Copies of this chain bind each other. A is one copy, B any other.
Amino acid sequence: MALVVQKYGGSSVADASCIKRVAQRIVATKKGNDVVVIVSAMGDTTDELLDLAEQVSPLPPARELDMLLTSGERISMALLAMAIANLGHEARSFTGSQAGVITDSTHGKARIIDVTPSRIREAIDQGHIAIVAGFQGVSQDTKDITTLGRGGSDTTAVALAAALEADVCEIYTDVDGVFTADPRIVPAARKIPKISYDEMMEMAACGAKILHLRCVEYARRFNLPIHVRSSFSTKEGTWVVADPYNEGTEMEQPIISGVAHDRSEAKITVVGVPDKVGEAATIFKTLADAEINIDMIVQNVSAAATGRTDISFTLPTADSQTALAALKKIQPQIGFESLLFDDQIGKVSLVGAGMRSHPGVTATFFAALADAGVNIEMISTSEIRISVVVGQDGVDAAVAAAHRAFDLDADQVEAVVYGGTGR
Protein backbone atom coordinates (compact mmCIF):
# COMPACT_ATOMS: atom_id res chain seq x y z
CA MET A 1 0.00 0.00 0.00
CA ALA A 2 1.42 3.37 -1.01
CA LEU A 3 1.90 6.14 1.52
CA VAL A 4 0.65 9.50 0.25
CA VAL A 5 1.43 12.73 2.11
CA GLN A 6 -0.91 15.59 1.21
CA LYS A 7 -0.58 19.24 2.12
CA TYR A 8 -3.51 21.64 2.04
CA GLY A 9 -2.92 25.38 2.34
CA GLY A 10 -5.03 27.99 4.09
CA SER A 11 -7.25 28.72 1.08
CA SER A 12 -8.13 25.00 0.78
CA VAL A 13 -9.48 25.00 4.36
CA ALA A 14 -10.82 28.56 4.50
CA ASP A 15 -14.23 27.64 5.95
CA ALA A 16 -16.37 24.70 7.06
CA SER A 17 -17.51 23.80 3.54
CA CYS A 18 -13.94 23.90 2.20
CA ILE A 19 -12.87 21.64 5.07
CA LYS A 20 -15.64 19.16 4.25
CA ARG A 21 -14.59 19.10 0.60
CA VAL A 22 -10.95 18.47 1.52
CA ALA A 23 -12.11 15.71 3.88
CA GLN A 24 -13.85 13.95 0.99
CA ARG A 25 -10.73 14.18 -1.11
CA ILE A 26 -8.64 12.70 1.70
CA VAL A 27 -11.11 9.85 2.24
CA ALA A 28 -11.03 9.12 -1.52
CA THR A 29 -7.23 8.92 -1.37
CA LYS A 30 -7.42 6.66 1.67
CA LYS A 31 -9.08 4.01 -0.52
CA GLY A 32 -5.97 2.09 -1.48
CA ASN A 33 -3.37 4.29 0.24
CA ASP A 34 -2.14 5.23 3.65
CA VAL A 35 -2.60 8.98 4.05
CA VAL A 36 -0.88 11.64 6.13
CA VAL A 37 -2.20 15.19 5.77
CA ILE A 38 -0.42 18.44 6.58
CA VAL A 39 -2.70 21.43 6.99
CA SER A 40 -2.22 25.18 7.31
CA ALA A 41 -4.32 27.59 9.35
CA MET A 42 -7.73 28.47 7.93
CA GLY A 43 -7.79 31.37 5.45
CA ASP A 44 -7.27 34.62 7.31
CA THR A 45 -6.66 33.16 10.77
CA THR A 46 -2.98 34.09 10.85
CA ASP A 47 -3.71 37.69 9.90
CA GLU A 48 -6.41 37.91 12.58
CA LEU A 49 -4.03 36.56 15.20
CA LEU A 50 -1.30 38.99 14.14
CA ASP A 51 -3.85 41.79 14.41
CA LEU A 52 -4.68 40.72 17.99
CA ALA A 53 -0.98 40.61 18.84
CA GLU A 54 -0.52 44.12 17.52
CA GLN A 55 -3.37 45.32 19.72
CA VAL A 56 -1.63 44.18 22.90
CA SER A 57 1.99 44.88 22.00
CA PRO A 58 3.83 46.81 19.30
CA LEU A 59 6.78 44.40 19.47
CA PRO A 60 5.61 41.00 20.75
CA PRO A 61 8.29 38.53 21.89
CA ALA A 62 8.99 35.97 19.15
CA ARG A 63 8.44 33.01 21.47
CA GLU A 64 4.94 34.21 22.33
CA LEU A 65 4.14 35.11 18.72
CA ASP A 66 4.93 31.50 17.78
CA MET A 67 2.73 30.22 20.59
CA LEU A 68 -0.08 32.46 19.34
CA LEU A 69 0.20 31.65 15.64
CA THR A 70 0.38 27.88 16.11
CA SER A 71 -3.17 27.96 17.47
CA GLY A 72 -4.25 28.52 13.85
CA GLU A 73 -3.24 25.05 12.64
CA ARG A 74 -4.57 23.53 15.85
CA ILE A 75 -8.02 24.74 14.88
CA SER A 76 -7.88 23.68 11.23
CA MET A 77 -6.41 20.24 11.92
CA ALA A 78 -8.96 19.39 14.61
CA LEU A 79 -11.83 20.50 12.37
CA LEU A 80 -10.43 18.49 9.45
CA ALA A 81 -10.14 15.38 11.64
CA MET A 82 -13.76 15.88 12.73
CA ALA A 83 -14.94 16.24 9.13
CA ILE A 84 -13.13 13.02 8.18
CA ALA A 85 -14.58 11.19 11.18
CA ASN A 86 -18.00 12.35 10.02
CA LEU A 87 -17.36 10.46 6.75
CA GLY A 88 -16.77 7.29 8.74
CA HIS A 89 -12.98 7.22 8.80
CA GLU A 90 -10.75 7.44 11.83
CA ALA A 91 -8.57 10.55 11.82
CA ARG A 92 -6.25 11.87 14.50
CA SER A 93 -4.71 15.30 14.58
CA PHE A 94 -1.19 15.99 15.82
CA THR A 95 0.66 19.20 16.59
CA GLY A 96 4.11 19.69 15.09
CA SER A 97 5.56 18.75 18.45
CA GLN A 98 3.50 15.56 18.66
CA ALA A 99 4.45 14.68 15.09
CA GLY A 100 8.13 14.88 16.02
CA VAL A 101 9.05 17.98 14.03
CA ILE A 102 12.20 19.03 15.88
CA THR A 103 13.64 22.46 15.08
CA ASP A 104 16.32 24.87 16.21
CA SER A 105 15.28 27.71 18.54
CA THR A 106 14.99 30.53 16.00
CA HIS A 107 11.42 31.63 16.69
CA GLY A 108 9.53 32.80 13.62
CA LYS A 109 11.85 31.10 11.15
CA ALA A 110 13.03 27.91 12.78
CA ARG A 111 14.84 25.26 10.74
CA ILE A 112 13.85 21.61 10.95
CA ILE A 113 16.79 19.63 12.33
CA ASP A 114 15.12 16.28 12.81
CA VAL A 115 11.80 14.51 12.27
CA THR A 116 10.86 11.64 14.61
CA PRO A 117 7.36 10.71 13.53
CA SER A 118 6.79 7.66 15.75
CA ARG A 119 3.26 8.76 16.69
CA ILE A 120 2.38 9.32 13.05
CA ARG A 121 3.77 5.92 12.12
CA GLU A 122 1.69 4.39 14.90
CA ALA A 123 -1.47 6.13 13.67
CA ILE A 124 -0.85 4.87 10.11
CA ASP A 125 -0.22 1.36 11.37
CA GLN A 126 -3.56 1.46 13.15
CA GLY A 127 -5.23 2.37 9.86
CA HIS A 128 -5.90 5.96 10.91
CA ILE A 129 -5.54 9.06 8.78
CA ALA A 130 -2.99 11.33 10.48
CA ILE A 131 -3.56 15.09 10.30
CA VAL A 132 -0.49 17.15 11.16
CA ALA A 133 -0.19 20.86 11.83
CA GLY A 134 2.02 22.53 9.24
CA PHE A 135 4.37 25.43 9.84
CA GLN A 136 5.28 24.44 13.41
CA GLY A 137 7.66 22.38 15.47
CA VAL A 138 9.29 22.19 18.86
CA SER A 139 12.80 23.39 19.61
CA GLN A 140 15.35 20.74 20.53
CA ASP A 141 17.01 22.82 23.24
CA THR A 142 14.24 24.71 24.98
CA LYS A 143 11.21 22.52 24.12
CA ASP A 144 9.45 25.73 23.14
CA ILE A 145 6.95 25.85 20.27
CA THR A 146 8.48 27.27 17.09
CA THR A 147 7.22 28.27 13.66
CA LEU A 148 9.06 27.64 10.42
CA GLY A 149 8.38 30.94 8.69
CA ARG A 150 7.46 31.38 5.02
CA GLY A 151 6.74 28.17 3.14
CA GLY A 152 6.69 26.40 6.47
CA SER A 153 3.74 24.09 5.81
CA ASP A 154 5.19 22.88 2.50
CA THR A 155 8.46 22.21 4.27
CA THR A 156 6.67 20.29 7.03
CA ALA A 157 4.96 18.17 4.40
CA VAL A 158 8.16 17.33 2.53
CA ALA A 159 10.17 16.72 5.71
CA LEU A 160 7.52 14.43 7.15
CA ALA A 161 7.10 12.62 3.81
CA ALA A 162 10.86 12.06 3.69
CA ALA A 163 10.99 10.79 7.28
CA LEU A 164 8.07 8.42 6.62
CA GLU A 165 9.58 7.36 3.27
CA ALA A 166 6.33 8.31 1.55
CA ASP A 167 5.81 7.53 -2.12
CA VAL A 168 4.76 11.05 -2.97
CA CYS A 169 4.16 14.43 -1.35
CA GLU A 170 1.13 16.14 -2.89
CA ILE A 171 1.03 19.91 -2.43
CA TYR A 172 -2.50 21.20 -2.99
CA THR A 173 -2.98 24.76 -4.12
CA ASP A 174 -5.56 26.90 -5.89
CA VAL A 175 -3.97 26.60 -9.36
CA ASP A 176 -3.44 23.56 -11.55
CA GLY A 177 0.32 23.30 -11.07
CA VAL A 178 3.52 25.15 -11.98
CA PHE A 179 3.12 27.23 -15.14
CA THR A 180 5.65 28.27 -17.76
CA ALA A 181 4.91 31.86 -16.74
CA ASP A 182 2.38 33.73 -14.64
CA PRO A 183 -0.90 33.25 -16.57
CA ARG A 184 -2.01 36.72 -15.49
CA ILE A 185 0.85 38.12 -17.59
CA VAL A 186 1.02 35.47 -20.30
CA PRO A 187 -2.46 34.08 -21.06
CA ALA A 188 -0.85 31.46 -23.30
CA ALA A 189 1.22 30.07 -20.41
CA ARG A 190 0.73 26.36 -19.83
CA LYS A 191 1.11 23.92 -17.00
CA ILE A 192 4.51 22.23 -16.77
CA PRO A 193 3.88 18.47 -16.46
CA LYS A 194 7.29 17.61 -15.01
CA ILE A 195 10.20 19.67 -13.78
CA SER A 196 13.49 18.85 -12.08
CA TYR A 197 14.31 19.83 -8.49
CA ASP A 198 17.09 22.09 -9.79
CA GLU A 199 14.81 23.95 -12.15
CA MET A 200 12.06 24.23 -9.55
CA MET A 201 14.55 25.65 -7.07
CA GLU A 202 15.65 28.27 -9.58
CA MET A 203 12.01 29.07 -10.33
CA ALA A 204 11.23 29.41 -6.62
CA ALA A 205 14.30 31.56 -5.99
CA CYS A 206 13.31 33.79 -8.92
CA GLY A 207 9.82 34.62 -7.76
CA ALA A 208 7.58 31.67 -8.69
CA LYS A 209 5.51 31.60 -5.49
CA ILE A 210 3.92 28.20 -5.87
CA LEU A 211 6.57 26.26 -3.94
CA HIS A 212 9.06 27.61 -1.46
CA LEU A 213 12.77 27.12 -2.08
CA ARG A 214 13.28 25.35 1.25
CA CYS A 215 10.73 22.68 0.55
CA VAL A 216 12.17 21.88 -2.90
CA GLU A 217 15.69 21.74 -1.42
CA TYR A 218 14.45 19.30 1.19
CA ALA A 219 12.70 17.11 -1.42
CA ARG A 220 15.81 17.04 -3.58
CA ARG A 221 17.97 15.97 -0.68
CA PHE A 222 15.70 12.95 -0.07
CA ASN A 223 14.76 12.41 -3.73
CA LEU A 224 11.09 12.70 -2.80
CA PRO A 225 8.65 13.29 -5.67
CA ILE A 226 6.44 16.36 -5.18
CA HIS A 227 3.13 16.60 -7.00
CA VAL A 228 1.81 20.18 -7.11
CA ARG A 229 -1.88 20.13 -7.97
CA SER A 230 -5.19 21.90 -7.57
CA SER A 231 -7.51 21.14 -4.67
CA PHE A 232 -10.39 22.13 -6.96
CA SER A 233 -9.90 19.41 -9.60
CA THR A 234 -8.56 15.87 -9.95
CA LYS A 235 -6.35 16.73 -12.92
CA GLU A 236 -2.68 15.86 -12.79
CA GLY A 237 -0.60 18.86 -11.77
CA THR A 238 3.15 19.35 -11.95
CA TRP A 239 5.56 16.65 -10.81
CA VAL A 240 8.82 17.84 -9.32
CA VAL A 241 11.34 15.00 -9.57
CA ALA A 242 15.06 14.37 -9.99
CA ASP A 243 15.17 13.52 -13.70
CA PRO A 244 11.96 14.38 -15.49
CA TYR A 245 13.10 13.68 -19.07
CA ASN A 246 14.61 10.25 -18.74
CA GLU A 247 11.35 8.37 -18.83
CA GLY A 248 8.07 8.39 -20.70
CA THR A 249 7.29 9.61 -24.18
CA GLU A 250 8.97 12.98 -24.36
CA MET A 251 11.33 13.10 -27.30
CA GLU A 252 13.52 15.86 -25.97
CA GLN A 253 13.52 18.14 -23.03
CA PRO A 254 12.45 21.73 -23.54
CA ILE A 255 15.27 24.27 -23.59
CA ILE A 256 13.44 26.56 -21.23
CA SER A 257 11.04 25.22 -18.61
CA GLY A 258 9.61 28.51 -17.55
CA VAL A 259 9.88 32.25 -17.14
CA ALA A 260 9.76 33.56 -13.58
CA HIS A 261 9.53 37.12 -12.41
CA ASP A 262 9.84 38.98 -9.14
CA ARG A 263 8.81 42.54 -8.31
CA SER A 264 9.69 42.39 -4.62
CA GLU A 265 13.29 43.50 -4.87
CA ALA A 266 15.07 46.83 -4.96
CA LYS A 267 18.52 47.80 -6.23
CA ILE A 268 21.24 49.67 -4.36
CA THR A 269 24.36 50.96 -6.12
CA VAL A 270 27.44 51.89 -4.13
CA VAL A 271 29.06 54.51 -6.32
CA GLY A 272 32.81 55.16 -6.45
CA VAL A 273 34.19 52.40 -4.31
CA PRO A 274 38.02 52.59 -4.15
CA ASP A 275 39.24 49.60 -6.18
CA LYS A 276 41.22 47.97 -3.37
CA VAL A 277 41.32 44.41 -2.13
CA GLY A 278 38.75 43.78 0.58
CA GLU A 279 36.44 46.75 0.02
CA ALA A 280 33.65 44.60 -1.48
CA ALA A 281 34.11 42.10 1.34
CA THR A 282 33.64 44.87 3.92
CA ILE A 283 30.46 46.05 2.22
CA PHE A 284 28.85 42.61 2.11
CA LYS A 285 30.06 41.69 5.60
CA THR A 286 28.29 44.82 6.86
CA LEU A 287 25.07 43.80 5.08
CA ALA A 288 25.31 40.23 6.35
CA ASP A 289 25.74 41.49 9.92
CA ALA A 290 22.52 43.44 9.43
CA GLU A 291 20.87 40.11 8.41
CA ILE A 292 20.08 41.30 4.90
CA ASN A 293 19.81 38.68 2.17
CA ILE A 294 21.49 39.91 -1.00
CA ASP A 295 20.32 38.44 -4.30
CA MET A 296 22.19 39.59 -7.43
CA ILE A 297 25.51 41.40 -7.30
CA VAL A 298 27.17 43.20 -10.21
CA GLN A 299 30.51 44.99 -10.11
CA ASN A 300 31.53 47.10 -13.05
CA VAL A 301 35.03 47.01 -14.42
CA SER A 302 37.11 49.58 -12.64
CA ALA A 303 37.64 52.82 -14.52
CA ALA A 304 41.44 53.01 -14.74
CA ALA A 305 41.45 56.79 -14.64
CA THR A 306 39.76 57.07 -11.26
CA GLY A 307 40.74 53.77 -9.58
CA ARG A 308 37.14 53.51 -8.47
CA THR A 309 34.30 51.10 -9.29
CA ASP A 310 30.53 50.85 -8.78
CA ILE A 311 28.94 47.88 -7.03
CA SER A 312 25.20 47.20 -7.53
CA PHE A 313 23.14 44.58 -5.74
CA THR A 314 19.49 43.64 -5.31
CA LEU A 315 17.75 42.87 -2.03
CA PRO A 316 14.20 42.54 -0.66
CA THR A 317 12.63 46.01 -0.85
CA ALA A 318 11.54 45.65 2.79
CA ASP A 319 15.19 45.52 3.88
CA SER A 320 16.24 48.61 1.92
CA GLN A 321 16.20 51.18 4.71
CA THR A 322 18.19 48.94 7.05
CA ALA A 323 20.73 48.29 4.30
CA LEU A 324 21.11 51.97 3.38
CA ALA A 325 21.58 52.93 7.04
CA ALA A 326 24.21 50.22 7.55
CA LEU A 327 26.11 51.32 4.45
CA LYS A 328 26.03 55.01 5.40
CA LYS A 329 27.71 54.09 8.67
CA ILE A 330 30.72 52.61 6.86
CA GLN A 331 30.97 55.36 4.23
CA PRO A 332 33.87 57.15 6.04
CA GLN A 333 35.74 53.88 6.48
CA ILE A 334 35.31 52.69 2.85
CA GLY A 335 35.40 56.11 1.28
CA PHE A 336 32.81 55.46 -1.44
CA GLU A 337 31.21 58.47 -3.07
CA SER A 338 27.45 57.93 -2.79
CA LEU A 339 24.54 55.48 -2.63
CA LEU A 340 21.86 55.12 -5.32
CA PHE A 341 18.56 53.45 -4.52
CA ASP A 342 15.93 52.18 -6.97
CA ASP A 343 12.83 50.22 -5.91
CA GLN A 344 11.18 50.50 -9.33
CA ILE A 345 12.84 47.36 -10.68
CA GLY A 346 11.81 43.81 -11.51
CA LYS A 347 13.68 40.61 -12.15
CA VAL A 348 12.87 38.32 -15.06
CA SER A 349 14.45 34.86 -15.16
CA LEU A 350 14.62 32.11 -17.74
CA VAL A 351 14.96 28.69 -16.14
CA GLY A 352 15.72 25.46 -17.98
CA ALA A 353 18.07 22.54 -17.65
CA GLY A 354 18.09 22.39 -21.46
CA MET A 355 20.11 25.57 -21.75
CA ARG A 356 23.17 23.58 -20.70
CA SER A 357 23.21 21.90 -24.11
CA HIS A 358 21.74 24.72 -26.20
CA PRO A 359 24.05 27.59 -27.01
CA GLY A 360 22.50 30.88 -27.98
CA VAL A 361 19.87 31.04 -25.29
CA THR A 362 21.26 34.31 -23.94
CA ALA A 363 21.35 35.84 -27.41
CA THR A 364 17.75 34.83 -28.14
CA PHE A 365 16.62 36.14 -24.74
CA PHE A 366 18.35 39.52 -25.07
CA ALA A 367 17.15 39.94 -28.65
CA ALA A 368 13.57 39.29 -27.53
CA LEU A 369 13.92 41.92 -24.80
CA ALA A 370 15.40 44.42 -27.24
CA ASP A 371 12.54 43.83 -29.69
CA ALA A 372 10.10 44.43 -26.84
CA GLY A 373 11.87 47.69 -26.03
CA VAL A 374 12.98 46.54 -22.58
CA ASN A 375 16.31 47.85 -21.26
CA ILE A 376 18.51 45.48 -19.22
CA GLU A 377 20.00 46.96 -16.03
CA MET A 378 21.76 43.94 -14.49
CA ILE A 379 22.49 40.38 -15.59
CA SER A 380 23.18 37.26 -13.54
CA THR A 381 23.42 33.66 -14.67
CA SER A 382 23.68 30.15 -13.32
CA GLU A 383 24.11 26.93 -15.23
CA ILE A 384 20.36 26.59 -15.79
CA ARG A 385 19.13 30.17 -15.36
CA ILE A 386 19.53 33.63 -16.82
CA SER A 387 18.15 36.54 -14.80
CA VAL A 388 17.95 40.16 -15.79
CA VAL A 389 16.91 43.20 -13.83
CA VAL A 390 14.71 45.60 -15.78
CA GLY A 391 12.58 48.62 -14.99
CA GLN A 392 9.43 47.55 -13.15
CA ASP A 393 7.18 48.78 -15.96
CA GLY A 394 9.05 46.53 -18.41
CA VAL A 395 8.48 43.28 -16.48
CA ASP A 396 5.27 42.18 -18.19
CA ALA A 397 6.61 42.87 -21.67
CA ALA A 398 9.86 41.05 -20.88
CA VAL A 399 8.08 37.96 -19.55
CA ALA A 400 5.72 37.79 -22.52
CA ALA A 401 8.54 38.33 -25.03
CA ALA A 402 10.74 35.64 -23.51
CA HIS A 403 7.84 33.19 -23.29
CA ARG A 404 7.12 33.69 -26.99
CA ALA A 405 10.75 33.65 -28.07
CA PHE A 406 11.34 30.22 -26.57
CA ASP A 407 8.20 28.71 -28.08
CA LEU A 408 6.53 28.28 -24.70
CA ASP A 409 3.16 29.71 -25.76
CA ALA A 410 0.56 26.97 -25.40
CA ASP A 411 -0.34 26.24 -29.03
CA GLN A 412 3.21 25.74 -30.14
CA VAL A 413 4.48 23.87 -27.15
CA GLU A 414 1.79 21.27 -26.80
CA ALA A 415 2.50 20.29 -30.40
CA VAL A 416 6.23 20.65 -30.61
CA VAL A 417 7.88 19.84 -27.34
CA TYR A 418 5.42 17.49 -25.69
CA GLY A 419 4.18 15.72 -28.76
CA GLY A 420 0.59 16.64 -28.20
CA THR A 421 0.04 14.46 -25.16
CA GLY A 422 -1.04 17.46 -23.16
CA ARG A 423 1.05 16.34 -20.22
Binding site for B on A (CB under 8 A): 16, 19-20, 23, 49, 52-53, 55-61, 63-65, 67-68, 70-72, 74-75, 77-83, 85-86, 91-93, 95, 98, 119, 143, 145
A56 in contact with B20 (CB, 8 Å): yes
Chain B residues within an 8 Å CB radius of A81 = 61, 64, 67
Which chain B positions have C-beta within 8 A of A68?
Answer: 74-75, 78-79, 82
Q: Are B67 and A93 in contact (CB under 8 A)?
A: yes
In the complex, A58→B61 CA distance in Å?
A: 39
- Whether the pair B92, A56 counts as a contact (CB closer than 8 A) is no
Q: Which residues of B contact A58 (CB under 8 A)?
A: 86
Interchain CB contact under 8 A, B64 and A78:
yes
Residues in B neighbouring A23, C-beta threshold 8 A = 56
Closest residue of chain B to A94 (Cβ to Cβ) is B67
Look across to chain B and name the residue whose beta carbon is closest to the beta carbon of A74.
Answer: B71
Q: List 12 A-B contacts (CB under 8 A).
A: A16-B52, A16-B55, A52-B75, A53-B78, A56-B83, A57-B82, A61-B81, A61-B85, A64-B92, A67-B81, A71-B71, A71-B78
> Considering the chains assembled together, what is the distance between the CA atoms of A49 and B57 in angstroms?
25
Knowing A52-B16, A92-B63, A93-B64, the reply to whether A57 touches B83 (Cβ < 8 A) is yes
- Complex Cα spacing A304 to B64, Å: 72
**Which B-chain residue is minimally distant from A81 (CB atoms)?**
B64
Residues in B with CB closer than 8 Å to A80 are 56
Do residues A67 and B74 form an inter-chain contact, with CB atoms below 8 A? yes
Assembled-state Cα–Cα distance A95/B97 (Å):
12
Whether the Cβ atoms of B64 and A98 lie closer than 8 Å is no
Query: Which B residues are CB-close (under 8 A) to A79?
Result: 52-53, 56, 64, 68
Name the B residues within 8 Å of A70 (CB-CB): 74
Task: Give the distance in Å from the alpha carbon of A19 to the alpha carbon of B68 in the complex.
Answer: 14
Is there an interface contact between B60 and A85, defined as CB atoms closer than 8 Å?
yes
Majority SS of interface residues in chain A? helix
Q: How distant is the Cα of A64 from the Cα of B68 in the complex, in angstroms?
A: 19
Which 4 A-B residue pairings sit nearest by Cβ, starting from the closest? A16-B55, A68-B78, A57-B86, A60-B82
A60 to B23, CA, bound (A): 14
Residue of B nearest to A20 (CB): B56
What CA separation (Å) do A198 and B79 show in the bound complex?
42
Closest CB in chain B relative to A61 CB, distance in Å: 5
- Please name the residue on chain B nearest to A68 by beta carbon: B78
A60 to B91, CA, bound (A): 11
CA distance A103 to B104 in the complex (A): 29
Identify the closest chain B residue to A73 (Cβ): B71
Known: A49-B75, A68-B75, A71-B71. 8 other contacts (CB 8 A): A56-B82, A57-B85, A58-B86, A60-B82, A61-B85, A64-B82, A71-B75, A71-B78
CB pair B93–A56 under 8 Å, yes or no, is no
Residues of B within 8 A of A61 (CB): 81-82, 85
Most buried by B among A64, A81, A119: A64
- What CA separation (Å) do A380 and B59 show in the bound complex? 58
Docked Cα-Cα span, A70 to B72, in Å, equals 11
User: How far apart sit A19 and B57, CA to CA, in the bound complex (Å)?
Assistant: 11
Q: Which one of B52, B55, B64, B77 contacts A85 once the chains associate, using CB atoms below 8 Å?
A: B64
Q: Which residues of B contact A98 (CB under 8 A)?
A: 143
Q: How far, in angstroms, from A56 to B86 measured CA to CA in the complex?
A: 8
Q: Are B16 and A56 in contact, with the CB atoms below 8 A?
A: yes
* A185 CB to nearest B CB, Å: 38
Nearest-CB residue, chain B, relative to A61: B85
**A77–B23 CA distance with the chains assembled, in angstroms:** 31
Min CB gap A207→B, angstroms: 33
For A15, give the chain B residue with the smallest CB separation: B55
A19 near B56: Cβ-Cβ < 8 Å? yes
Inter-chain contacts of A91 with B (CB < 8 A) = 64
CB distance from A299 to the nearest CB of B (A): 44
Cβ B67 vs Cβ A78 within 8 A: yes
Give CA–CA (A61, B78) in the complex, Å.
9
Known: A74-B70, A143-B98. A65 touches B82 (CB 8 A): yes
